[in-house]
């Protein structure tokens, strides 16, 4: 991001990788950029709005105490972004994957692969780096940051939560799916934009404002009808 100011920087050397963690600021606010430079994959990075700082610390705490690759996938919604945390294992050992989607990505997203290390020592190092940022912010006497509440540490796929994005629109989270509702306007008039983010997939739906009431009515009618078997499967949703 051009013209951004670097406030604090930390470097973590993890096995054959180097991670750069930078607290930066621009006209839209403060954020944490985590850049990964490794031998086996091209350099990649994720950008975390500062409101996600505490949620990331909670997630690093969770994965520090998680053993084995398993299906321990967790999401955190930060403003207009979704960060998916998941464990995995390859021939180089166990790792923690952080996948960023939404935000400015037109499709897909960006990911980091953090080797877990012995007794999750590398994950602990990330947690300590984020804690260092939090302590520095407290010591500088800056105004408190409104922290994200979009953290889902439960493993139930049908958990439903309703939050608010930085832009003021509602965010509906259903398990690993997240729906962003945003009222927009262009030269053709007002409309409702509904964006679904699930893992590395993103779907966009646009409803003209004058059709929203009928759209709601259509949903009600569809839900009152007798469900029909779906030959294509449930598409990842569970009732």
* pLDDT tens digits for range 196-228: 887 666 788 999 999 999 988 888 888 888 777
| Neighbouring residues of 76: CB distance < 8 A, sequence distance ≥ 6 | 52, 55, 56, 59, 82, 83, 85, 148, 150, 151, 152
Phi, psi of 11 (to 5 degrees): -125, 130
**Model-level pTM?**
0.67
Please say if the pLDDT value at position 29 is more than 90. no
Query: In whole angstroms, what is the distance from residue 235 CA to residue 74 CA?
Result: 19
More confident residue, 217 or 152: 217
Reported confidence tier of residue 106, pLDDT bands at 50, 70, 90: very low
Does the pLDDT at position 153 exceed 90?
no
- pLDDT above 90 coverage of the chain, percent: 28
Strand order in the sheet with 170-174: 160-164, 170-174, 177-186, 189-198, 201-208
| pLDDT tops 90 at residue 19 | yes
Pick from 26-30, 37-41, 44-48: least confident: 37-41
Residue 130 pLDDT exceeds 90: yes
Provide the token pair at 25.
């600021």
Percent of the chain predicted with pLDDT > 70:
78
pLDDT greater at residue 1 or residue 41: 41
Find, among 182, 230, 228, 224, the residue nearest to 207 by Cα: 182
Alpha carbon 39 to its chain's center: 25
Question: Which domains does the chain carry?
Answer: 5-140 (3.30.2450.30), 154-224 (3.10.450.700)
Which of the two residues, 176 and 19, has the higher pLDDT score? 19
Q: Is the pLDDT of residue 3 over 90?
A: no
What distance lies between CA 113 and its chain's CA centroid?
15
Judged against a pLDDT cut of 60, whether residue 90 lies above it is answered with yes
What DSSP letter does each residue of 135-179 carry, written as one string?
HHHHHHTPPPP----EEE----TT-EEEEE-TTS-EEEEETTEEE
Residue 195: the pLDDT is 86
The residues, any chain, with a CB within 8 Å of residue 67's CB and separated by 6 or more, are none
Query: What pLDDT sits at residue 129?
Result: 95
At 238 the pLDDT is 46
Q: Tell me the average pLDDT of the chain.
A: 81
pLDDT at 220: 86
Report the Cα 22 to chain-centroid distance in Å.
18
SS3 42: coil
**Residue showing tokens 């404002």:** 209
CA pseudo-torsion sign 182, 187, 190, 195: negative
Q: How confident is the model at residue 47 (pLDDT cuts 50, 70, 90)?
A: very high
């Amino acid at each position: 991001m051009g013209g951004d100011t670097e406030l604090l920087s930390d470097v973590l050397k993890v096995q054959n990788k180097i991670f750069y963690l930078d607290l930066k600021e621009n006209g839209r606010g403060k954020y944490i950029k985590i850049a990964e430079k490794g031998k086996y994959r091209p350099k990649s990075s994720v950008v975390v709005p500062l409101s996600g700082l505490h949620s990331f610390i909670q997630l690093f705490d969770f994965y520090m105490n998680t053993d084995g690759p398993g299906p321990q996938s967790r999401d955190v919604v930060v403003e207009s972004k979704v960060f998916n945390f998941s464990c995995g294992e390859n021939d180089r050992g166990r790792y923690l994957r952080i996948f960023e989607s939404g935000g400015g990505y037109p499709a897909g997203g960006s990911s980091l692969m953090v080797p877990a290390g012995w007794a999750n020592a590398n994950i602990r190092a990330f947690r300590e780096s984020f804690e260092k940022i939090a302590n520095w912010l407290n010591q500088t006497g800056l105004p408190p940051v409104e922290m994200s509440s979009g953290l889902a540490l439960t493993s139930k796929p049908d958990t439903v939560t309703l939050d608010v994005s930085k832009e003021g629109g509602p965010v509906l989270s259903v398990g690993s799916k997240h729906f962003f509702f945003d009222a927009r306007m262009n030269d053709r008039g007002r409309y409702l934009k509904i964006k679904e983010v699930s893992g590395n997939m993103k779907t966009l739906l646009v409803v003209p404002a004058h059709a929203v009431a009928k759209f709601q009515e259509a949903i009600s009618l569809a839900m009152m009808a007798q469900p029909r078997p779906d030959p294509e499967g449930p598409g990842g949703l569970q009732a």
